[in-house]
Amino acid sequence: MNEQPRTIAGAQQDLRTGRVTATQLIEESIARADAVDEAVGVYIRRFDEQALAAAAEVDARIARGGELRPLDGIPIGMKDIVSDGDGPTTAQSLVLDPAWGEATGDAVVVQRLKDAGAIITGKVTTMEFAVGMPDASKPFPVPRNAWDTDLWAGGSSSGSGSGVAAGVFLGAIGTDTAGSIRIPAAFNGVTGLKATFGRVPKSGVVPLAYTLDHVGPLTRSARDAAIMLQAIAGSHASDPYTLDAPVDDYEAALERGVAGMRIGVDSFQQHASAGYDPAQPALFDAAIRTLERAGATIVDVVMPRYAELTAIDIIVMISEAYAYHRGDILSRWEDYGQATRILLAGGEAVTGADYVQAQRVRRVAQREADAVLQSVDAVVSSTGHLAAPRIDGISLGDPMAALASLHTPYWNPLGVPTMAVPIGLSAGGAPLSMSISAPAWGEATVLAVGDAYQRATDFHLAEPPLVRSLERQPA
């Protein structure tokens, strides 16, 4: 068998030229899962049979001379809070009523991916209800980092990040409320895009926080993220939070590059409350220099209201989530994972006035941040200052501690597009990441900056030791 493509763009090309078949792509996805899933904890449920059948249909259509759809034959993982008619949805919890998924069928994002030809290979691990922590006492896999299985995969789109990094699938769908696409992307050395709030429909997705949730792709590259976003972006009547903003041609926008762009930089190092990895400052600085060599003008900026926006994200997230879970929390406390229930119980302390005040300060912060974002084309910041923590160091009684020195919650209340891209390895050999942000509806700019960086670097193509060891084994 030919060497398998490692990106969506590469797979598209190989399918068109006949270098690879859809069946081969899915067979490789299945073989990779067989080899690594027990160690990494990517899947809650695999759709092997459906995926192979879908791949056979694609190959038959190609043989008849039919047109290829944008994502035909591409294996995609689906976070298990997103409903898919091909199997149950659990939200990695004993609490979610299976009837909800059965009644919902395909979420809009799932239907759009299938319409584009994508093959959903299974439901992948998440933090419980997108907010808990790895909990070995519950009957679900513990999500581990593809680079070092003693480390956490990050979350809440854990399996989405580790699965792409381990080559189990070429792309995945995650959701992001305080960083849940960008954290697993950062910790696993892949690319993760949280688009503008309302860009991608949330209907058919178990909510964590109604005014903060975003649905988006995790992929190897910005180019692949552009391809996936193209398939899923756009308003939908079922989701009142979506807006009728025009959908750009994201792949075409990549050709723009960064020449002539003004890129603002705020490292957020002064906000790294739990410290920073020794390798991080130099890697971040090197990334900025790469963009400068690619033609961007670099300017220092100060993103405003860091403490307030972080507080807004937590207050709004926990209180909106508590509204959703209150009845079950009170009646089924033990069925929730310990970290999940402790986090959600925090919502009992938030008053109505607290919530309204958070949403008022949110508007103040949105205006102030927008003034900075509009003064440049994009802003680059650190996704976090530390690599993934050890799983055995996570305390279920203090779940927020695992998010130390992560800056992702800052961006959710702003609703602007933000994408995490890998920038190299920490002193301990685990991935580190930077974030690229732009004003609302600026996905094309964010993707262009990420793509320009990735044309000049290869961190996004690096393979974890676990995968390299597979490839060294004799057939």
Based on the residue annotation, tell me whether 435 is a catalytic residue of this protein. no
The binder of another protein chosen from 349, 427, 456, 461 (CB under 8 A): 349
The binder of another protein chosen from 99, 351, 392, 473 (CB under 8 A): 351
Q: 202-261: which residues touch another protein (CB under 8 A)?
A: 210-212, 237, 240-241
Tell how far CA 273 is from the center of its chain: 23
- The interface region with another protein, picked from 127-135, 265-273, 284-292, 324-332 by CB under 8 A, is 324-332
Which distant-in-sequence residues (6+ apart) come within 8 Å of 208 by Cβ? 81, 129, 130, 131, 156, 175, 177, 317, 320, 321, 324
Q: How far is the CB of 310 from another protein (least distance, A)?
A: 8
The binder of another protein chosen from 413, 424, 442, 464 (CB under 8 A): 413
Query: Rule CB under 8 A: is residue 361 a binding residue for another protein?
Result: yes
- CB of 43 or CB of 197, closer to another protein: 197
Which distant-in-sequence residues (6+ apart) come within 8 Å of 435 by Cβ? 182, 380, 381, 382, 383, 407, 408, 411, 418, 419, 420, 421
Query: Rule CB under 8 A: is residue 398 a binding residue for another protein?
Result: yes
Query: Rule CB under 8 A: is residue 366 a binding residue for another protein?
Result: yes
Q: How far is the CB of 356 from another protein (least distance, A)?
A: 6
Nearest residue to 343 via CA among 146, 132, 196: 132
Q: Which of 158, 180, 433, 437 is catalytic?
A: 180
- CB of 149 or CB of 412, closer to another protein: 412
Q: How far is the CB of 358 from another protein (least distance, A)?
A: 5
- CB of 187 or CB of 322, closer to another protein: 322
Based on the residue annotation, tell me whether 156 is a catalytic residue of this protein. yes
DSSP string, 373-392: HHTSSEEEEESBSS-PPBGG
The binder of another protein chosen from 68, 245, 253, 311 (CB under 8 A): 311
Based on the residue annotation, tell me whether 381 is a catalytic residue of this protein. no
The binder of another protein chosen from 356, 371, 427, 456 (CB under 8 A): 356
Q: Which of 79, 114, 138, 202 is catalytic?
A: 79
Tell how far CA 18 is from the center of its chain: 31
Q: Which of 156, 160, 435, 437 is catalytic?
A: 156
84: left (phi over 0), alpha (psi -120 to 50) or beta: beta
- CB of 236 or CB of 262, closer to another protein: 236
Q: Tell me, residue by residue from 434 to 453, as one string, x for binding to another protein by CB under 8 A and - for no binding.
A: --------------------
- The interface region with another protein, picked from 260-268, 361-369, 386-394, 432-440 by CB under 8 A, is 361-369
- CB of 401 or CB of 427, closer to another protein: 401
Query: Rule CB under 8 A: is residue 93 a binding residue for another protein?
Result: no
Q: Which tokens sit at 304?
A: 């405003």
Count of residues of this chain found to bind another protein when the rule CB under 8 A is applied:
47
The binder of another protein chosen from 164, 283, 343, 436 (CB under 8 A): 343
Q: How far is the CB of 243 from another protein (least distance, A)?
A: 9
Nearest residue to 233 via CA among 109, 60, 86, 359: 109
- CB of 6 or CB of 362, closer to another protein: 362
- CB of 169 or CB of 197, closer to another protein: 197
Q: How far is the CB of 431 from another protein (least distance, A)?
A: 29
Q: How far is the CB of 372 from another protein (least distance, A)?
A: 16
The binder of another protein chosen from 259, 330, 427, 461 (CB under 8 A): 330
Catalytic residue numbers read 79, 156, 180
- Interacting residues toward another protein by CB under 8 A: 210-212, 237, 240-241, 307-308, 311-312, 314-316, 318, 326-327, 329-330, 333-334, 338, 341-343, 345-351, 353-354, 356-364, 366, 397-398, 400, 413
